[in-house]
Chains A and B, each alone.
Chain A
Amino acid sequence: MKKYLYAAMLGLAFSAIGVEAFAGSATSIVVQSTTSTKNSGFYDHLLPIFTKETGIQVHVVAVGTGAAVRNAMNCDGDVLLVHSRAREEAFIREGYAPRRYDLMYNDFVLIGPGSDPAGIGGQKDIALALRQIARTSATFVSRGDDSGTHIKELELWRSAQTDPSQHSGDWYREAGTGMGATINIAVGLGGYTLTDRATWINFANKSDFTILSEGDEALFNPYGIMRVSAQKCPSAKIEEAQIFIDWLISDKGQKLIASYKTDGKSLFFTYPK
């Protein structure tokens, strides 16, 4: 009798597991995504409409661009949505994706405390603004996590001919975490940081922080979308992934992206046809 009881309990436990595994394999795709699109509510706006039209569930794993690319190289995603042109091109060059699609763009902004200790308010030239931060040794919080924003930030420091890594731990703080968490740290330390505009607009814990530098051409932030290649990842859901991409870059998808607003501000912009 006791034996049956144990068998029943074990069976129960494993049937729970089995049901879940089955539910996971329904028509669904995994998108390896940058955090900015997730944190800004972009997917909450688009995915319900897409799923309703096509019946395809979209599971979004939001990590930094570097981690998203690595996960996709391990075939742990069907679609890759990131924002680092160099990484995207390397991904294609190594045969992990057949091609890249222009999805949308916005821009990066430099934010800092209202008191603006480095005195850069309104400096449109981002290189000059960064140099000013370095000269006054004002606290700057870097993502430090190999994300698209981090890669862009390092690029901007190079163009400002400044090497902040010498001051790591001093005024240059490498947080090693996501965009929102990094803004939390910057707010806590009263320091400057670089963020994409969408995350900033949606960020709830702004304190007295404001945008101090914006509008430089170097701050352009394009998002690309790709599906993994069938050769590299034979078990990937190629067909569904392509449907998702085609939908996003269709007139309808692009209109939906452009219409997404928070507090009346557009978060992402689409390219003219």
Chain B
Amino acid sequence: MSIFQEALSTAFLLILQRDADLMEIIGLSMQVSLTALFIACVLGLPLGALMGSREFRFKQSLRGIFNALMGVPPVVVGLIVYLNLSRSGLFGALELLYTPTAMIIAQVILILPIIAALSSQILEDLHEEYRDLFSSLVVPPHKALLAYIIDARYSLLTIILAGFGRAISEVGAVMIVGGNIDHLTRVMTTAIALETSKGELALALALGIILLLLALLVNFAAQQFKSFQTVQRYGGGR
């Protein structure tokens, strides 16, 4: 049996049996990445709106920085967070190293630039389009901003999914700050790395297949939300 066939059957067996360890790992992966995504959106979307619709000093430099940060390797973010959370680091007294919280912090830093930089671009385009109309109608800035966000919600959803994709798939940062501790900080990607290093390639690949299915599921749910909204808006062609 080839390693691919073995991986496929292992993956389906693991899912069918609802393997307790696997469920725990999936649960933690989702918990960490979704929490990081939520925090990154709460911080990143207003930041994107600000950069997209207001003029202020150093705006272009700020955008440049965020654009550059989109490409920072996760392992570098992991290292920086490690140095800060280490007991000998700045925030060592909080004892957060090797906890899921440390992993959330690292992932927020990873995906915040994506959310902020990409949403600022989209909102800026809308702002260009509606600025004259809104100013002639004397729409207050915060209402205009809300209108942009509602109007751009599908594009923003795509950005949020991109952020989720980067969070759930990265291994470099969570490996360093989480430590891949069994039953505490082991997530899908670090489990895959561990099984690979044990030479259990079929099991590692099976976990990879499950991770892929998980990502598909999340994207499919987002797609459903989008078409449901479209139906509501246009009455489904009735």
Residues on A lying within 8 angstroms of B by beta carbon are 9-10, 13, 16-17, 20-21, 24-25, 30, 35, 39, 43, 59-62, 71, 73-76, 177-181, 183-184, 202-206, 233, 235-236
Contacts and interface: CB of A to CB of B under 8 A. Distances in A.
Given A204-B198, A205-B201, 10 more contacts: A9-B38, A16-B31, A21-B96, A60-B182, A71-B86, A75-B86, A184-B199, A203-B198, A204-B200, A204-B201
A35 B87 CA distance: 22
A180 B42 CA distance: 41
B198 A75 contact: no
Nearest to B95: A25
B165 interface: no
A20 B100 contact: yes
B98 interface: yes
B75 to A, nearest CB: 12
Contact of B87 (A17, A74, A180, A206): A74
Contact of B196 (A17, A43, A181, A236): A181
B42 A10 contact: yes
B181 interface: yes
B121 interface: no
Given A10-B42, A75-B87, A76-B87, A184 B181 contact: no
A75 B39 contact: no
Given A17-B101, A74-B88, A204 B95 contact: no
B158 interface: no
A202 B198 contact: yes
A235 B98 contact: no
Contacts of B88: 73-76
Interface of B: 31, 35, 38-39, 42, 86-89, 92-101, 104, 179-182, 184, 196-201
Contacts of B38: 9, 13
Contacts of A62: 180
A209 to B, nearest CB: 10
Contacts of A236: 87
Nearest to B185: A59
B197 A179 contact: yes
A35 B93 contact: no
Nearest to A187: B199
A75 B199 contact: no
B35 A16 contact: yes
A24 B184 contact: yes
A17 B102 CA distance: 9
Nearest to B32: A20
B93 to A, nearest CB: 7
A181 B192 CA distance: 12
Contacts of B98: 24, 30, 59, 61, 76
A-B pairs with the 9 shortest C-beta distances?
Answer: A205-B199, A180-B197, A75-B87, A61-B179, A204-B199, A24-B99, A74-B88, A203-B199, A59-B181
A10 B38 CA distance: 9
Nearest to A235: B87
Contacts of A30: 98, 179
A127 B101 CA distance: 48
A101 to B, nearest CB: 23
Contacts of A60: 181-182
A233 B87 CA distance: 8
A178 B199 CA distance: 12
A23 B86 CA distance: 18
